[in-house]
Amino acid sequence: MALVWPSMAKTFTDGEPLQDTIHYEKKIGLIKKGSLVPLPVVFYSPETSLAFGGVLFNLFRTIPEDTLSKFSNVRTAIIFTLRSQLLIDIDHDIFTRNEKYRITGKFLFAKFPDFFYGIGNQTQQEHEELYTANNFNLKSQVMRQIFENFYVGLLYQFNYLGNLEKVEGGILDSDDIIGNDGGKSSGLGLILQWDTRDFNLNCTRGHFLEFSTRHFRDFFGSDFTYNIVELEAMKFFTLFPRQVLGLHFKGRFSNRDVPFHQLSLMGGDKLMRGYYRGRYRDKVLYAAQAEYRWQFYKRFGLVVFGGLGDVSPEFHSFDFSEIKPSYGFGLRYMILPKRKVNIRLDFGFGKDTNGIYINITEAF
């Protein structure tokens, strides 16, 4: 959810580095060597209101003479918002020689006032209550290339929620809400990734498939015992010149004693636009969406999108009669044509709700 000036190829909220743009620039000769790139940032979303800050990109090769491998990068972002939020976000994406290993990671500190509506797919808007907490999050993935575009590896995640301030006697103050006094989660898992997309930031063809697991246990130092399995798939088709159809599915499944802030969250600027991120949360999430993109005149484009999704307490208890719609339209302006990077303005609508999103890069 970001509008960035003068140029920024990924927002702080995404957590995914810019290998598509870097690889493209390498091939057409825009990047000759590593560099440090500072960028100012301004953006807006329902979750943050107006925000501003700065980002520093460090682009480099781990082996300077290995000119065939993708560039590695480290990104540092510091963000302030008008809702008194502070975010410090550092992530990296490192490729070894010949891209044999890929090492990605993310550190996030967020002092983040947020809204809680309860758990489940039938929570009410009038039950909205504000809470504030300090959130430390660390995620690291080490993957080995098995064959071209396919990686397998290990994933570690640590999360700590502290200094939690909530409404006394409110929904979050109930003993039924796991993790309502904060605490730490620490877990290990596996990840498989297959990615043939041409440009990750504005794809016109190819597919992306990722499967990952995380298992949080006390012997890893976790205060909570639970499991998370995620499956994400994307497919892109070039229908006509400058016209693309994108399909996206995400499933997130967890069980046992999942703290409320680690439940599956529906909404936001990426998935099920129109819903506040976390408006509905539970142990299981299913969401599918499609988007038609048309670059109709020079740098200008239009999109229409639609999706269906919902949350549920268990894998087998998903109720299709409760499924929620997401739909809308958007405008695009290609701020960096050679990098195929768009600024987007999206108007999203859902069940008794709506949202406006300004961002750089597509929703998926």
CATH number at residue 66: 2.40.160.50
Question: In the chain, how many domains are there?
Answer: 1
Find, among 131, 138, 88, 134, the residue nearest to 111 by Cα.
134
Helix (H), strand (E), coil (C) string for 35-56: EEEEEEEEEEECCCEEEEEEEE
CA dihedral 301, 302, 306, 307 (to 10 degrees): 20
Instruction: Give the pLDDT confidence score for residue 318 in this predicted structure.
Output: 82
Instruction: Give the pLDDT confidence score for residue 343 in this predicted structure.
Output: 83
Instruction: Give the pLDDT confidence score for residue 33 in this predicted structure.
Output: 54
Q: For residue 97, how far is the Cα from the chain centroid? A: 28
- Cβ-proximal residues to 148 (8 Å cutoff; 6+ apart), any chain: none
In the three-class reduction of DSSP (H, G, I as helix; E, B as strand; rest coil), residue 109 is classed as strand
Q: Give dist(CA 24, CA 47) in Å, integer.
A: 32
Instruction: Give the pLDDT confidence score for residue 339 in this predicted structure.
Output: 64
Residue 263 dihedral angles phi and psi, to the nearest 5° = -70, 165
Per-residue pLDDT of the chain (364 residues; tens, 9 = 90+): 333 333 333 333 333 444 444 444 444 344 445 567 676 777 776 767 788 888 787 878 888 887 777 778 888 889 898 887 898 989 888 989 888 999 999 999 998 788 999 999 999 999 999 999 999 999 999 999 999 889 999 999 999 999 999 999 999 999 999 999 999 999 999 999 998 888 777 899 999 999 999 999 999 999 999 999 999 999 999 999 999 999 999 999 999 999 999 999 999 989 999 999 999 999 999 999 999 999 999 999 999 999 999 999 998 888 888 899 999 999 999 877 866 778 889 999 999 999 888 777 799 9
Instruction: Give the pLDDT confidence score for residue 10 in this predicted structure.
Output: 33
Instruction: Give the pLDDT confidence score for residue 2 in this predicted structure.
Output: 37
151 half-sphere exposure, CB direction, 13 A CA radius: 23
Residue 223 belongs to domain spanning: 3-360
- Cβ-proximal residues to 191 (8 Å cutoff; 6+ apart), any chain: 141, 143, 151, 152, 153, 154, 155, 210, 211, 212, 213
0.85 exceeded by pTM = no
